[in-house]
Structure formats: structure tokens, C-alpha cells
Amino acid sequence: MSPLPTGKGMYFEEFEIGQKIVTTGRTITESDIVTFAGLSGDYNQIHTDAEFSRNTIFGQRVAHGLLGLSIASGLAMRTGMLEGTVLAFREIAEWKFSRPVMIADTIHVVLTVVETKAVPRLGGGNITITLEVKNQRNETAMKGTWLVLVASQPSS
């Protein structure tokens, strides 16, 4: 694991291919699911109806896939690696939902830098990061790739 700078995000030049960062965990609550349903308008019964969900292959309500993705984004930001240095979130690619996230699951994210590409005209560079969202049993619930534009170090 690479140490993170304190008090600021990482600049483009500080990212290294192969660098791994593991986030803290976050437990998914019923309130998270209800709030996300209200925010998104997705009241699908698999998420919001305990009786309906009891008779599905999961046997209980599951979190929205996009809720898991959103929480993963928040966990990534909590690392501080992009605090004040990210210029734009540019792309989500090859995102796959492999396993359901249930109420009371605790998820964390393993981020791995796989590519860096300078884009001087935009004042930084693109960082391609793979993300694996894992539950408390270290099973991968979802994974994919993000492309973010990160600022270059200021000239001194």
C-alpha cells in the first residue's frame, strides 16, 4: 500500500501504476436503501418490500446496485487521494455486479491504478483505476474501472 499525502489529494504525478489503496468499510443499512429509493425513484420490490423479497433467490431485500456504486465512490473519496485534486470524473467502464449487497453487509473498496496518461492541455492527466467492491467476507460484489482527470502539481 502506498501512503497517502496528508491534508491534500494526490496530484497526477504522484500516482503510480500498480499502486493499491484500500478504503475503510461501511455497513449498508435499511435506511440507506430507503433513502436511495426516494432519491432515485427506484422503488423496485426487491429493494423495498421485505415480504416480496423473502420469496426471491436472495431471500431478503438487496441494496440497489447503483447504491453500492455510489457508496464505493464515497469510500474512495474518504481516502483523501482525490481531495482537492480531482478535476473531473470522466468514465465508468466495464462495471459488473457479481454478488448482491444486503442490509448489514459491510463493504470496502480496493482501488488499483492501472494507467496514467498526461493531458497537459487540461492541466493534469487521466488516471485509470480499477475498483473491487468487497463485502465483509472479502467476496467481490461489484467491480469495474474508473477514469478520472487529476490536476498536475502546481509549478513552484
Question: What does the pLDDT read at residue 7?
Answer: 53
**What type of residue is 126?**
N
The neighbouring-strand residues paired with 124 are: 119, 151
Torsion, Cα 27 48 96 25, to 10 degrees, reads 0
What would the CATH number be for the domain defined by 12-151? Answer: 3.10.129.10
26-51 pLDDT, tens per residue?
999 999 999 999 999 999 999 999 99
Q: Which residues of the chain have pLDDT under 70?
A: 1-7
**What is the pTM assigned to this prediction?**
0.91
Question: What does the pLDDT read at residue 155?
Answer: 83
